[in-house]
Amino acid sequence: MIDQAGIMMAQGAAIASERIAGVNDNMTQPHYHNYYEIYYLEEGERYQRIQDELYMLKAGELMLFSPYIMHYSYGAQDVPFRRVILYFRRDEIDSPEIIKLLDEANGMYKPEKKESATIRWILSELLREQEDQADFHQECRRALLNLLLHHLARQRRVEEPIKAEQRERISRIIHYIHYNYAEPITLESLAEQFYISAFHLCREFKAYTNSTVIRYVNVTRIMNAQRMFLETDKNITEISRETGFSNLTHFNRVFKSVTGMTPSGYRKSHRNFEIYVGGKI
């Protein structure tokens, strides 16, 4: 599934939205953005992973993700769905209080039926303004965005994600990975630390995350490496070491398998983009 709204944001848009319907369109790895995301489910059911918590999203419900919050979604086999995503940058938010709330309120929201219909209408209007590009469409979209955020600010976040004994254990393991990705982590060491056989850990982890343990560890490390490339001037060897890779060759291979680019290519392309959007070329 191509993220057209994400492409628009990469090209410099301040607000971008998209409606997509699909079936068996599952993300294979967690990701994050340097902007906010609202994910509104119009039809179907989807699992939504945010950091180390898992939620079941149903029609009329939505997720909020702040910048740099790792997340991804997937669904049960052959279950169709339709969703609207909305991306927006911090500068488009009019209220400092709303910004503070958004940064502290990642997760799932279950608005009442009437309120959900209002939110859906605003999202549809944002899409229409994006497509029509009538006079003052940018100002109109910004006004619609802030209207939507004020409606969201009045909603209560769902405090409890899906709970079950196995899922709680996997949540603890994911939490451990997120905070210890720079340390040596193997399937066997995780199984021993959390008192589970390697076989059952593999099976439970796959069912809960739609990923293998090693793939999840590697993706977590690469996501943090990407952040370091964007936020620091550390060289590739330093970043490789600080994200848990024992040698540079392995880091280069895993980085390319996850991102489709070499580490040096990634740093160069993002630096060029920053220069471009900054108006320097």
Provide mean pLDDT across the span 5-9: 92
Q: Is the pTM of this model over 0.85?
A: no
Which of the residue ranges 98-102, 159-163, 201-205 has the most confident prediction, judged by mean pLDDT? 98-102
With respect to residue 159, please indicate whether it lies within any of the assigned structural domains: no
* Cβ neighbours of residue 213 closer than 8 Å, sequence gap 6 or more: 173, 187, 190, 201, 202, 205
pLDDT for the residue 77: 73
- Cα 163-167-170 angle, rounded to 5 deg: 145
259 lies in some domain: yes
| 102 and 179 assigned to the same domain | no
Same domain flag for 111 and 191: no
The reply to whether 29 and 75 lie within a common domain is yes
In-domain check, residue 281: no
Question: Does 119 reside within a domain?
Answer: yes
Query: Is pLDDT above 90 for 70?
Result: no
Q: Taking the alpha carbons of 215, 196, 26, 78 in that order, is the dihedral positive or negative? A: positive
Q: Are residues 170 and 144 in the same domain?
A: no
Does 222 score more than 60 pLDDT? yes
Q: Which of 119, 127, 109, 128 is nearest to 147 (CA)?
A: 119
Quick one: which H or E segment has residue 46? Answer: strand 45-50
Inter-CA distances, 224 with 252, 272, 274, Å: 14, 20, 19
Instruction: State the pLDDT confidence band at 47, using cuts at 50, 70 and 90.
Output: confident
Q: Are residues 144 and 35 in the same domain?
A: yes
In this prediction, residue 223 carries a pLDDT of: 92
Co-location of 203 and 118 in the same domain: no
Residues 147 and 247 in one domain: no
Instruction: Classify residue 207 by burial, with Cβ atoms within 10 Å: 0-12, 13-18, 19+.
Output: exposed
> Residue 28: what pLDDT?
64
Q: Assess whether 33 and 54 both reside in one domain.
A: yes
Quick check: 27 pLDDT over 80? no
Residues 57, 142 within the same domain:
yes
In a domain, 160, yes or no: no
Strand partners, 15: 88
Please check whether residues 123 and 45 belong to one and the same domain: yes
Distance CA 78, CA 22 (A): 9
Which of 153, 177, 192 delimits the end of a domain? 153
Given 153, 175, 194, the domain boundary residue is 153
pLDDT at 278: 42
Average pLDDT, the chain: 87
Question: Is residue 280 situated within a structural domain?
Answer: no
CATH number of the domain that residue 112 is part of: 2.60.120.280
**Token pair for residue 90?**
């911090």
Q: What is the pLDDT of residue 156?
A: 84
Q: Which of 116, 132, 153 is the last residue of a domain?
A: 153
In one letter, which amino acid is 229? F
18 and 144 belong to one structural domain: yes
Task: Tell me what pLDDT residue 1 has.
Answer: 65
For residues 221 and 254, membership in a common domain is answered with yes
Alpha helix (H) residue ranges in the chain: 4-10, 96-104, 113-132, 137-153, 165-180, 187-193, 198-209, 213-231, 236-242, 248-259, 263-277
Is it the case that residue 273 has pLDDT exceeding 50? no
Q: According to the model, what pLDDT value does residue 128 have? A: 95
Determine which helix (DSSP H) or strand (DSSP E) holds 197, and give its type and residue range.
none
What total number of domains does the chain contain? 2
Residue 107's domain comprises 4-153
Assess whether pLDDT exceeds 80 at residue 274. Answer: no
- Give the pLDDT confidence score for residue 205 in this predicted structure: 86
